[in-house]
Amino acid sequence: MPARGDHDARRRDVSEAVWRVLADRGFGGLTLRAVAAEMNASTGLLTHYFPSKKALIAYALDVADERTANRPRQTTPEPGLEGLRTALLDVLPLTPEAAAMNRVWVSSWDGSLADPELGAREKDRYEAWRSRLRPHVEAARNDGDLPPDTDIDEVTATVAAFTHGIVVQALFDPDRFPPTRQTTLLNNLLHSLAALA
Amino acid sequence: MPARGDHDARRRDVSEAVWRVLADRGFGGLTLRAVAAEMNASTGLLTHYFPSKKALIAYALDVADERTANRPRQTTPEPGLEGLRTALLDVLPLTPEAAAMNRVWVSSWDGSLADPELGAREKDRYEAWRSRLRPHVEAARNDGDLPPDTDIDEVTATVAAFTHGIVVQALFDPDRFPPTRQTTLLNNLLHSLAALA
Out of B103, B164, B192, closest to residue A168 by CB: B164
Across the interface, whether the CB atoms of A168 and B113 are under 8 A apart is answered no
Which of B127, B121, B183 is CA-nearest to residue B160? B127
Looking at residue B135, the DSSP 8-state letter turns out to be: H
Annotation: CATH topology of B2-68: Arc Repressor Mutant, subunit A (1.10.10)
Q: Quick check: B2 pLDDT over 50?
A: no
Highest mean predicted confidence (pLDDT) among A48-62, A64-78, A148-162: A148-162
Out of B122, B126, B158, closest to residue A185 by CB: B158
What average pLDDT is seen over chain B? 93
Do the beta carbons of residue B82 and residue B195 sit within 8 Å?
A: no
pLDDT bin (cut points 50, 70, 90) of residue A8 is confident
Backbone angles phi, psi at B70, to 5 degrees: -100, 10
The amino acid that residue B45 corresponds to is: L
pLDDT bin (cut points 50, 70, 90) of residue B1 is very low
Q: What is the pLDDT of residues A54-66, one digit of tens each?
A: 899 999 999 999 9
What is the pLDDT averaged over residues B73-84? 87
Across the interface, whether the CB atoms of A172 and B114 are under 8 A apart is answered no
What end-to-end distance do the CA atoms of chain A give, in Å?
61
Out of B154, B165, B169, closest to residue A188 by CB: B154
- Give chain A positions within 8 Å (CB) of B176: 127
Q: What is the pLDDT of residues B88-119, one digit of tens each?
A: 999 999 999 999 999 999 999 999 999 999 99
Across the interface, whether the CB atoms of A110 and B28 are under 8 A apart is answered yes
Could you give the count of Cα atoms lying within 13 Å of B120 in the half-sphere of its Cβ?
2
Cβ-based contacts under 8 A for chains A and B? 143
Q: What is the pLDDT of residues A174-196, one digit of tens each?
A: 999 999 999 999 999 999 999 87
pLDDT bin (cut points 50, 70, 90) of residue A3 is low
Q: What is the pLDDT of residues A75-134, one digit of tens each?
A: 777 899 999 999 999 999 999 999 999 999 999 999 999 999 999 999 999 999 999 999
pLDDT for B3 equals 61
All CATH 1.10.10.60 domain ranges of chain A, comma separated, are: 2-68
Q: What is the pLDDT of residues B113-149, one digit of tens each?
A: 999 999 999 999 999 999 999 999 999 999 999 999 9
Across the interface, whether the CB atoms of B110 and A26 are under 8 A apart is answered yes
- Give chain A positions within 8 Å (CB) of B27: 28, 110
What is the pLDDT averaged over residues B66-71? 92
For CA atoms A30, A32, A36, A37, the dihedral sign is: negative
- Give chain B positions within 8 Å (CB) of A176: 127
Which of B70, B84, B69, B99 is CA-nearest to residue B141? B84
* HEC letters along A100-153: HHHHHHHHHHHHHHHCHHHHHHHHHHHHHHHHHHHHHHHHHHHCCCCCCCCCHH
ipTM for the complex? 0.93
All CATH 1.10.357.10 domain ranges of chain A, comma separated, are: 74-194
Across the interface, whether the CB atoms of B169 and A188 are under 8 A apart is answered no
Burial (CB count <10 Å: 0-12, 13-18, 19+), residue B74: exposed
**Homologous superfamily in CATH for domain B74-194:** Tetracycline Repressor, domain 2 (1.10.357.10)
- Give chain A positions within 8 Å (CB) of B106: 109-110, 113
Residue of B nearest to A193 (CA): B192
Interior angle at CA B177, CA B83 and CA B28, nearest 5: 95
Q: What is the pLDDT of residues B14-56, one digit of tens each?
A: 999 999 999 999 999 999 999 999 999 999 988 988 999 889 9
Do the beta carbons of residue B182 and residue B163 sit within 8 Å?
A: no
